[in-house]
Every structure is written in structure tokens, then in C-alpha cells.
A = this chain, B = another copy of it.
Amino acid sequence: MLSENPVRSVNVGIVGLGNVGTGAMSILAGNAAQIEAKLGFPLRVRTVCSRSVASKELPAGLAGVKRTADWRDVVNDPDVDVICELIGGTGVAHELIEAAIAAGKSVVTANKELMALQGAAIWEKAIAAGINLAMEASVAGGIPIHTVLREGISGDRIQALYGILNGTSNYILTEIEKHGTAFETVLAEAQRLGYAEADPSADIDGFDARSKLALLSALAFGEQIAPTDIYTEGIRRLTPLDFQYAHKLGHTIRLLCAARETDEGLLLSVRPALIPSETILASVQGAYNAIWVRGEYGADTFYYGRGAGPHPTGVAVVSDLMRVAREIRSGSPERVSPFAHERLGAYKPIPITLQRRAWYLRFRVHDRPGIIAALANILAGKNVSLDAVLQLPSDSKDNLPFVITLETTSEQDVRDAVARMATLDFLTEPPLVLPMETSL
């Protein structure tokens, strides 16, 4: 339902009609009356673009919009004020965004990969061109974490940010935890249900979460963070047994994205970690996302919602469009680059091996006398203090699992010790090493 009053609309061109584009369009059409009431003017879809645009069914209320298969038509349309880049990837999407900026049009994007890789350069161009750039939808779809960091708690000085940022891997982990099912079985089922892709690597090996953490830590710390600055490890090696041991220790296991300030610099990682069961982060189940922010002044805040899906991510796109439209209408886009205070220089990434934490080491061995002594000797040789040895009942003498926890130790010392263990012939697989986030 579009307005009949004569106030001039702000006009949107949508490029990319996949899940997110379709979700955003259906909100722009279905929620048009309330959007106009909030803004004081209509936000109108002027053009939509996708390669298969001819065959796309548009929501009621958008039947009359222009359709094109060539994104240049959208950039060159003098009636389009804002362009939504919802193609994804780093090819055409990049070309489109640069062309839009060059044409003096503001841009709303959901593209985490491109913004994580090229964000700083794109922002520089946007600021120089005097247009606005908004990217709420690029991380944690339904959670307005960009708005929170950019405005809501901008007065605080962020010390640490923890996130569960990949819904697929969180779904897989909580299924393993709840039902004691093996990783491969849960993954296959998730693929069958459409929760995981045919090639699941981006999700389960941590690369998707890594791009998201690069963007969020840029925003939180005002520093340019490359995805490759982030130590990344996936969830393939986790077993139901690891959850049993974690529970025994009062913890659960999540694929934890962490960015934290130390005196030496920023520690950045995406990896499975033990987190205490009583923390609110541990209560995040299934395909949900969550972000925990620790500020010097505001202390802890926590944000939770759906990480993906056409409608949750569509809300992020439409909310960005509304902000950008307001700023276009007021004549002065507020260009708040996430890298705006990068010149502080206080937050350079440092190697993860410098971090000191408690550790969980899970072994599988051919059982025989002297195993604990051999392992303890290696640990002692690295000055690593053993905290506890746990062994749940098992009848598998040939592949016996047990766990050693370590007191607070540097990751480098743990890695050195584990490297020395590789020569031990009783191990049936390399030890699984997980940090214990006891300070959460």
C-alpha cells in the first residue's frame, strides 16, 4: 500500500533477488504503511534487478516496478536514490558498489565477504563521494549489532566481543549435545533439511564466522581487521564424548568468535571452546546467533536473534534503508565508517599463540600402563601445570578416551607440548585441544 500523499518518496533499486532480496522486498511491500508513518515519506521500490528477473513473481504492491537484468540500469536510473546490493560475493557486487558510489548513490549491502575483505577501501570512497553506506545485514541478520556498536553503545570503550555467529555450526553442535549423535550424521541430516550447504566448509570450518568477526571487530575496535588476522578452527573433530566431558566440567562447547584487547594488542579467534554452562552465551541453541560485548564502562551487554533467513536479514536491509533514506532527505548523510577511529592504532592483531588460558585436552589411546606419566612428563617439561584428569566409563581399551585439563598456560606452550606428544605411539589420534573460556 503506497501513500497517496504528495510527499516525495526516497526510491530504492534492489539488485539481487535471492533469499535476502525477496525477504527485503516483501517487507517493503507488506510494511509500507508503517514505514511511511515512521519516516514521514514513502520508501518506494523503483527498480529490481536479477539475471532471472523476467520470471520473478513480485509481492502485491510492487507489481508496477521496473525490472532489469542489467545492474547498470539501476545505477544509471536518475530516479534511484539508494541501491541495495544483495548479490553477494566479491565480483559483480564489488563492481556494482563502486559504480553506485561513483554515481553518487547511497548503498545498503548484506555482503559480509566483500566488506570483510574490502570494507576499508570501499568506505573511503563512500566518504569521499559524500554518500552513505550501510551494512547491518552483513553480520548476524536479525540482530542489529551494527547499530548497537555504531550508536547504541558508542560512548563505551569495547574491551572484548564474543559471538556465536554461524547458525549452521551452532545447530550442529547443539544437536550433537542434545542427542549424542555423531558429527557426520548430524551434518548429513542438516544438509538434507537445507540447514547446511552441499559444500559445508564455509560454515563448519569457521570461514563464514571469520568474515563476520572481522567486520564486527573492525566496528568494535575501529581497526582494519583482515579475515586472515583471525586464528580459525572448525568443528569437525568434536564428538558427543567431548560434550559429556564438557558437561562434567560444568561447561558446554560452542564455535566461539572472540576478539579481546590485551596490553599487547588484539587477540582474535574463531574456534570451538568450552564455555561455562551458567553463562547466557551457553544457552544459545540451534540456528540462533548471539553477541556478548564487554565494555570498560557499560560492562556486559548481550544481543540474540536469528542469524539468517529472508525475513530477519530483510529487516536489517529495510532498517538500513530507512536510516539512509532519512539522511538523504535531511540532506546530510552521516557517514560513520566502522574504521573511523582506526588512527588510534591501539588495537593491532597479535598472534593467538600469545594468549594465556585454561585448556581442555582430549586424548584417545591404546590403553597400557604409564600413559598419564608420559603425558605429564611432557607437560612438566614445558612448565605446564596439569589441573585434572577425567575419565568417563568406557570399554574401549583399544581407543580409550580421557581428558586432561590444564591450568592457565600460554597457547604456545600448549602447542609445543602437544607437538612433542605426536611421537607417542599409544595415541590413536592427535590430541584435541580446546580453550576453556572460564572468564566469560
Is A239 in contact with chain B by the CB < 8 A criterion? no
Is A157 in contact with chain B by the CB < 8 A criterion? yes
B154 touches A319 (CB 8 A): yes
B298 touches A312 (CB 8 A): yes
The residues of B that contact A38 with a CB separation of less than 8 Å are 154, 222, 336, 340-341
Task: Bits for A321-357, please: 1 = Cβ < 8 Å to B, else 0.
Answer: 1110011001110101000110110000000000000
A306 touches B300 (CB 8 A): yes
The residues of B that contact A311 with a CB separation of less than 8 Å are 297-299
A31 touches B302 (CB 8 A): no
Q: What separation, in Å, do the CA atoms of A38 and B338 have in the docked complex?
A: 9
CB distance from A138 to the nearest CB of B (A): 14
Is A228 in contact with chain B by the CB < 8 A criterion? no
Number of interface residues of A (CB under 8 A): 62
Is A85 in contact with chain B by the CB < 8 A criterion? no
Is A40 in contact with chain B by the CB < 8 A criterion? yes
The residues of B that contact A175 with a CB separation of less than 8 Å are none
Is A57 in contact with chain B by the CB < 8 A criterion? no
- Cβ-defined partner of A280 (8 Å) among B148, B283, B312: B283
A323 touches B33 (CB 8 A): no
The residues of B that contact A155 with a CB separation of less than 8 Å are 27, 31, 35, 314-319, 321-322
CB-CB contacts below 8 Å: A277-299 with B: 280, 283, 295-299
The residues of B that contact A332 with a CB separation of less than 8 Å are 330-332
A152 touches B157 (CB 8 A): no
The residues of B that contact A148 with a CB separation of less than 8 Å are 144, 147-148, 152
Is A431 in contact with chain B by the CB < 8 A criterion? no
The residues of B that contact A341 with a CB separation of less than 8 Å are 34, 37-38
Once A157-B34, A315-B153, A332-B330 are accepted as A-B contacts, the answer to whether A299 and B305 lie under 8 Å apart by CB is yes
CB-CB contacts below 8 Å: A11-61 with B: 23, 27, 30-31, 33-35, 37-38, 40
- Cβ-defined partner of A152 (8 Å) among B35, B144, B298: B144
The residues of B that contact A343 with a CB separation of less than 8 Å are 37
A151 touches B344 (CB 8 A): no
Is A163 in contact with chain B by the CB < 8 A criterion? no
Q: Which residue of B lies closest to A315 (CB)?
A: B298
Residues of A within 8 A of B (CB): 23, 27, 30-31, 33-35, 37-38, 40, 136, 142-144, 146-148, 151-157, 222, 280, 283, 295-306, 309, 311-312, 314-319, 321-323, 326-327, 330-332, 334, 336, 340-341, 343-344
Extra pairs beyond A27-B297, A303-B303 (9, CB < 8 Å): A37-B343, A38-B340, A142-B298, A151-B323, A154-B319, A155-B317, A301-B304, A302-B305, A330-B332
